[in-house]
Chain A
Amino acid sequence: MPHYLALTYTEDVDWTAPEQADALAEYRQFGEENRDTIRSAAVLHPTATATVVRVVGARGGDVATADGPYAETKEALTGYYVIDAADLDAAVKIAARIPAAWGGAVELRPVITWV
């Protein structure tokens, strides 16, 4: 079965904060209802905790780190699911049930299957 990566873009919040409990419960419900199609998932700390890593020049060069997410966007990358779906229409159906799809957005990316 092909896989799709569903990236959730939402407000850049701290999901461990008590005021996110209700929102988190919605995600938990989505997770339970779609247990059979979700391969893996993660919820991320806010972008304020992000670090960008680069190696200067070629492999083995100096490691340069910088504070912040790779790209500043209005809505932040706050989590992901890897889902099973037969085709894009099926993947869209599942993505449309992820709470991020309303109020935020879900980006679907087909995952390469290596033979």
Chain B
Amino acid sequence: MVDPVDRLAETVRTEGARILATLVRTAGSLPVAEDAVQDAIVSALREWPRSGIPSEPRAWLTVVARRKAIDALRREATRGAKERDSADLRNLATADLPSDAAVRDDQLRLIFTCCHPALATEAQMALALRTLCGLSTAQIAAVLLLTESAMAKRLTRTRQKIVAARIPYRIPAPAELPTRLTAVCGVIHALYTTGHAPITGAAVVDVDVCAEAIRLGRLVVELLPDEPQPAAVLALLLLTDARRRARADDAGDVVLLSDQDRSLWDRQQIVEGYALLDSSLRRSRGIADPYQLQAAIAAEHARSPSYAETDWREIVRLYDLMLGVAPSGAVELNRAVAVAEAAGADAGLAALTNIAPSPRWHAVRGELLARQGRYAEAVEATTAALTGELTAPERRYRQRRLADWAARA
């Protein structure tokens, strides 16, 4: 028999965002809707173990959450805090569940509200994790490296801004859609990056933020299947995530792309990533966007049977295109690495000369110098890399390299 609490957790996970999305529209307020859904979950925790799992868990939660929202709005009205359109209450009181098409639009509204460019990027990420992924404040705090109370304050401030500044609960007009979708894709990508490459410290987060980002990416692709950008960002995430099991060894230490056991790469994710990238490229006109290019680079790696057989010239070409549409220090650095693989360490070192130094820049330089047998210089460069912020496994890796080269210098 299914445990009622497990079933509740599963329903909240898979249906929570849909229930919330519809309730925000009918209640006309994100904070009221969020509280109502929370209250409904608490009620379910009490009721389900006693009276059994309802036959339609989502419907049960929706109806109870609606009732809680009505109560909250009535209380607000008696306090005189706000004049409430009686139509809102009538809307809420209707018993029937919304159609799938209505739920789809509600989910899109919620996504575009959470990822509104008038909110700070971190606030968008936090709100997306809270309302779209259903993570707790404590979990979000752990992911975004903040204390729980600081996170709670930030979420409250974000909700207040949505209400006070009247950020609309609306799907953007077609003319605005591309820019607004870029913001949504940016949040999804930032969430994945947060889970994939914590800047410092050991991996302590108990939440799989990467999986949450992919889930969100899938949702947006499902809701807007004809838009090229969400498909590209999901392709990028899948092609990157496919390598996840090969990225670290049993001790949790970094395994570089060149040393990864490619049989550990997730073929299913790769195949899905290819298909999404293809459909994204087919649907877009003109120059490729940064997500398409990054996905194309990841696809190029996935295609190659080994590091040595990689088509580095093609990868350099893709990085050149990247520099055209979205120049950044990280892209320049990755391009220099690809140049070194395509044309040798000399060419790679030459490509580095015009780039501003960073811990990673020193690390790359150290690798290239060692490749030329210039071990003393390699040691110096890698020592410089270690003064900056690195994850604990990356730091251990660099220290091993350092010891190796110091012995040869």
Contacts of A86 in B (CB 8 A): 166, 168
| CA–CA, A106 and B329, complex, Å | 31
Tell me whether B168 and A87 are in contact (CB under 8 A). yes
Tell me whether A115 and B80 are in contact (CB under 8 A). yes
Tell me whether A110 and B165 are in contact (CB under 8 A). yes
**How many residues in A have their beta carbons less than 8 Å from beta carbons of B?**
11
The reply on A2 being an interface residue by CB < 8 A is yes
Contacts of A112 in B (CB 8 A): 164
Within 8 A of A (CB), among B149-170: 164-168, 170
Within 8 A of B (CB), among A82-97: 86-89, 91-92
Within 8 A of B (CB), among A71-115: 86-89, 91-92, 108, 110, 112, 115
Pick from B80, B81, B83, B118: contact of A92, CB below 8 A. Answer: B118
| CA–CA, A108 and B80, complex, Å | 27
Tell me whether B166 and A88 are in contact (CB under 8 A). yes
| CA–CA, A87 and B169, complex, Å | 10
| CA–CA, A97 and B168, complex, Å | 20
Known: A115-B80, A115-B82, A115-B83. A89 touches B168 (CB 8 A): yes
Which residue on B lies nearest to A4, using beta carbons?
Answer: B165
Contacts of A92 in B (CB 8 A): 118
Pick from B80, B82, B166: contact of A2, CB below 8 A. Answer: B166
Closest chain-A Cβ to B171's Cβ sits at a distance in Å of 11
Contacts of B165 in A (CB 8 A): 88, 108, 110
The prevalent SS among residues of B at the interface is loop
Contacts of B166 in A (CB 8 A): 2, 86-88, 91, 110
Contacts of B80 in A (CB 8 A): 115
Contacts of A110 in B (CB 8 A): 164-166
**Residue interface mask A58-70, B partner, CB < 8 A = 1:** 0000000000000
Closest chain-A Cβ to B169's Cβ sits at a distance in Å of 9
Pick from B82, B83, B168, B172: contact of A88, CB below 8 A. Answer: B168
Most-contacted residue by chain B among A88, A92, A115 (CB, 10 A): A88
Contacts of B82 in A (CB 8 A): 115
| CA–CA, A14 and B166, complex, Å | 35
| CA–CA, A89 and B175, complex, Å | 13
| CA–CA, A24 and B83, complex, Å | 41
Closest chain-B Cβ to A115's Cβ sits at a distance in Å of 6
| CA–CA, A14 and B118, complex, Å | 31
Within 8 A of B (CB), among A34-70: none
Contacts of B83 in A (CB 8 A): 115
Which residue on B lies nearest to A92, using beta carbons?
Answer: B118
Contacts of B116 in A (CB 8 A): 88
Which residue on A lies nearest to B172, using beta carbons?
Answer: A89
Contacts of B164 in A (CB 8 A): 110, 112
| CA–CA, A89 and B170, complex, Å | 10
| CA–CA, A15 and B261, complex, Å | 68
Which residue on A lies nearest to B118, using beta carbons?
Answer: A88
| CA–CA, A88 and B172, complex, Å | 12
Closest chain-B Cβ to A43's Cβ sits at a distance in Å of 25
Which residue on A lies nearest to B167, using beta carbons?
Answer: A88
Contacts of A2 in B (CB 8 A): 166
Closest chain-A Cβ to B85's Cβ sits at a distance in Å of 13
Q: Which residues of B contact A (CB under 8 A)?
A: 80-83, 116, 118, 164-168, 170, 172
Given contacts A91-B166, A115-B82, 19 further A-B contacts (CB under 8 A): A2-B166, A86-B168, A87-B166, A87-B167, A87-B168, A87-B170, A88-B116, A88-B165, A88-B167, A88-B168, A89-B167, A89-B168, A89-B170, A89-B172, A108-B165, A110-B164, A112-B164, A115-B80, A115-B81
A-B residue pairs in contact (CB < 8 Å), sample of 13:
A2-B166, A86-B166, A86-B168, A87-B167, A87-B168, A88-B167, A89-B168, A89-B172, A92-B118, A108-B165, A110-B164, A115-B81, A115-B82
Chain A to chain B: the 9 pairs with minimum beta-carbon distance, closest first: A87-B168, A87-B166, A110-B165, A88-B165, A88-B167, A110-B164, A88-B166, A89-B168, A115-B83
